[in-house]
Amino acid sequence: MASVPTIDDLRAAAERIGPWAHRTPVLTCSSLDTMMGARLFFKCENFQKVGAFKFRGATNAVFSLSDRDARRGVATHSSGNHAAALSLAARLRGVQAHVVMPRTSRAVKRAAVVEYGGRIVACEPTLAAREAMLESVIAETGATVIHPFNDPRVIAGQGTAALELLEDVQDLDVVMTPVGGGGLLSGTAIAVASLSPRTRVVAAEPAAADDAFRSLKEGRIVPSVDPQTIADGLLTSLGTLTFAIIRERVAEIVTVSEDAIVAAMRHVWERMKVVIEPSAAVPVGALIEGAFRARGLRVGIILSGGNVDLDQLPWVRR
């Protein structure tokens, strides 16, 4: 198994991605503070390049490659924010990203990859077809596969958001992130454990896709089976590497209802004037619903992304 990144790996990642990534601002929201009786600090990764924290990990991975490897390009069969992030990171390095996507992918997802210079390789909409097509892309091009989360370079990159948050805000009692595959969560946990050991790391997960919650409870990776949640960035199961890190360093995973996710998303748009995607709303939903009680605490929350289809808002009845 690939090794667990250290705080030095995170620092090296921060240095490596520094010229390319935004240092995103930390915003506060007095209405949410009042509602929760807490002090909340929102790290706005929705303002990151490509609109999500994923740019950090992808960029760290791509710029970690030797020139020889980089020249052959990079590849993935993930089709969400990671695909867009990898496309842009590759373009910034001057190499090609190959993105295997099911023919059935939504037009907005395809457009994001194309816009950032990625090459789409279409396949049938099954996991087997995606993996087979990825194998054939690699065989043909020699590209390096960059996994969306189960990769130490990616995890180290994602952890740089928490590095910045801990620099900007002192004395946090808790740092919250959403959890899907666990890249952001495990990178955050490494940063916090090293730089602010008394701070707890709490993850929030849709109740309708609670495989990480169950994995932590059962002490083994419980796969996610056909989850149905609006938080479509959190559908994947944990990886071996992210699970190992999370198991050791994450205090708690709480689960959140779909209604609370939508209410939280709307509240953040309405009061903070900030566009976040449903996945980013999950930790805020945990606070609103009381799954995690923040009263009296200083809580850092990573708003993971802001990519939404403005024609498909969850509160608009048609």
Q: Which residues bind its own copies (CB under 8 A)?
A: 25, 27, 30, 44, 46-47, 49, 51, 266, 269-276, 306, 310-311, 313, 315-316, 318
Strands (E), 55-157: 74-76, 97-102, 119-123, 144-145
In three-state secondary structure terms, 202 is strand
Whole-number Cα distances in Å, 233 to 101, 227, 230, 281, 294: 15, 11, 9, 11, 25
Instruction: Return the number of the residue (47 or 243) whose C-beta is nearest its own copies.
Output: 47
- Half-sphere exposure in the Cβ direction for 175 (13 Å, CA): 34
Instruction: Return the number of the residue (109 or 249) whose C-beta is nearest its own copies.
Output: 109
Contact 233, 82 (CB under 8 A): no
Q: Measured from the CB of residue 131, what is the shortest distance to its own copies in angstroms?
A: 32
Please, which residues have CB within 8 angstroms of residue 271's CB and are 6 or more apart in sequence?
A: 29, 31, 32
Q: Measured from the CB of residue 139, what is the shortest distance to its own copies in angstroms?
A: 35
Contact 89, 116 (CB under 8 A): no
Q: Measured from the CB of residue 317, what is the shortest distance to its own copies in angstroms?
A: 9
Q: Measured from the CB of residue 310, what is the shortest distance to its own copies in angstroms?
A: 6
Instruction: Return the number of the residue (226 or 311) whose C-beta is nearest its own copies.
Output: 311
- Chain centroid to Cα 205, Å, comes to 12
Q: Measured from the CB of residue 205, what is the shortest distance to its own copies in angstroms?
A: 23
Instruction: Return the number of the residue (42 or 63) whose C-beta is nearest its own copies.
Output: 42
Instruction: Return the number of the residue (42 or 213) whose C-beta is nearest its own copies.
Output: 42
